[in-house]
Amino acid sequence: MLAPKIISNKFTDWNQKHKAPFGSEWWYKFVNSKNRGSNFAWRNRFKIPYLLMQQIGAFGFQHNSQTRIFEYPWCFFATPLEAGMRVLEVGAGASGFQFILAEHGLEVTSVDPLINPSEKVDWLFTSHQFNYLNQAFRGKVNFIQDFLQNAQIESNTYDRVFSISAIEHIPPEEVAPLVKEIARILKPGGFFIATIDLFLDCYPFTAKISNRYGSNISICSLIEASGLRIKVGNPCELYGYPEFKPENIHQQLDEFLVVKDPWEKCLILTQCIILEKVT
C-alpha cells in the first residue's frame, strides 16, 4: 500500500502524544529558523541536559521527512504489540521510534552501522551520541553498531522487526541479504514491518537511476528474497510487481501522501508492507 493523503485522528493523536515526527513544536521552529544560536543548538543537540532533551521529545534529534507523520504511527499500530515482546529496528539512527517502543514495555534492539549511507549524504552520528540519547530516554534500547548481516543474532529471536525508510538507502545488491537475515531472526509468526520511499524522480518514473538518497527498489524482489509471506501490501502500489503501473500512480497522486524533498526537490511517496514468517 501507499501512505494515504488523509491521516487518521488516531495517528494524529499518537504524533501529538509522542511529539513526532520532529520533537516539540518550539524546538522544531527554533532549529529551523535563522535565529542566532539555532545552528549551534542543533550541532550540539547531543550535549543538551537530559531533562531538556526529554522536553524536546525523542523525535527531536534527527532530521525527518514529512512522510514520518504517517510512517511512525502506522508502524506502531500495524500489528498488535504487547509488553515484553522482543523487537528490532534496522537503521534507526537517532530516530525516536526505538525509544517509544521501549517506553511501551517492549524489549528493543537497534542495529545501525552509523556511517554515511553514500558519499552524497552527510550523516554524522556516533555511538557516543547514540548512547547519550539512549540514556536521556531511560537507556532501555540495546544498541548494536554494525550491519544486521554481521550482528550474529540468534535465529528465531524477535517478534517484530521494523525498518522505517531505511532500505532504499542501501545498495540494491545488499537488499536480498538483509531481508534474508531479517527472516532468519524473526520468530515463527513474527512480522517484518517496513516503509520504503518511492521516488518520483527515479526509474521507473524517469530515466534517472538514483538520487542523493538512493533508488527505487523492487518490493516484489525484496519479498521473494525474504521468503516471508505478504500480509499487508497492494501489488498495484508496490514497485516491482507487474500490477504496478507508473502512469496509474501519477493519475492517483491526489489520493496519496506526497512530500516534496526540500534538497532534492523530488516528490516522495511511502510504500508500506507487513511480511509474516509462517514457519
Condensed to tens digits (0 to 9), the pLDDT of residues 216-237 reads 999 999 999 999 999 999 999 9
HSE value, Cβ hemisphere, 13 Å, CA-based, for 133: 29
* H/E segment holding residue 13: helix 9-18
For residue range 85-130, list pLDDT tens digits in order. 999 999 999 999 999 999 999 999 999 987 654 455 455 678 889 9
For residue range 39-76, list pLDDT tens digits in order. 999 999 999 999 999 999 999 999 899 999 999 999 99
| Residue 172: inside a domain | yes
How many independent structural domains does the chain possess? 1
Which domain CATH number covers 145? 3.40.50.150
| Residue 181: inside a domain | yes
| Residue 3: inside a domain | no
Closest CA to 161 of 74, 73, 85, 262: 85
Q: In which region does residue 231 sit, left (phi positive, over 0), alpha (psi from -120 to 50) or beta (all else)?
A: alpha
Q: Which amino acid is at 176?
A: A
- What is d(CA 67, CA 82) in angstroms, rounded to the nearest whole number? 26
> What's the rounded mean pLDDT across residues 117-146?
82
Burial call 246-267: b when 16+ CB within 10 Å, e when fewer:
eeebeeeeeebbbbebeeeebb
| Residue 236: inside a domain | yes
- At a CB cut-off of 8 Å and minimum separation 6, what does 174 contact? none
What is the pLDDT, as a whole number, of residue 116?
Answer: 53
- Provide the mean pLDDT of the chain: 93
- At a CB cut-off of 8 Å and minimum separation 6, what does 88 contact? 108, 109, 110, 111, 153, 158, 160, 161, 162, 185
Q: What's the pTM value of the predicted model, to 2 decimals? A: 0.94
| Residue 41: inside a domain | yes
Per-residue pLDDT band at 201 (split at 50, 70, 90): very high
Domain that holds residue 160: 9-276
- At a CB cut-off of 8 Å and minimum separation 6, what does 4 contact? 70, 255, 256, 257
For residue range 233-269, list pLDDT tens digits in order. 999 999 999 999 999 999 999 999 999 987 777 899 9
Longest dimension (CA), the chain: 57
- What is d(CA 171, CA 273) in angstroms, rounded to the nearest whole number? 20
- What is d(CA 92, CA 236) in angstroms, rounded to the nearest whole number? 28
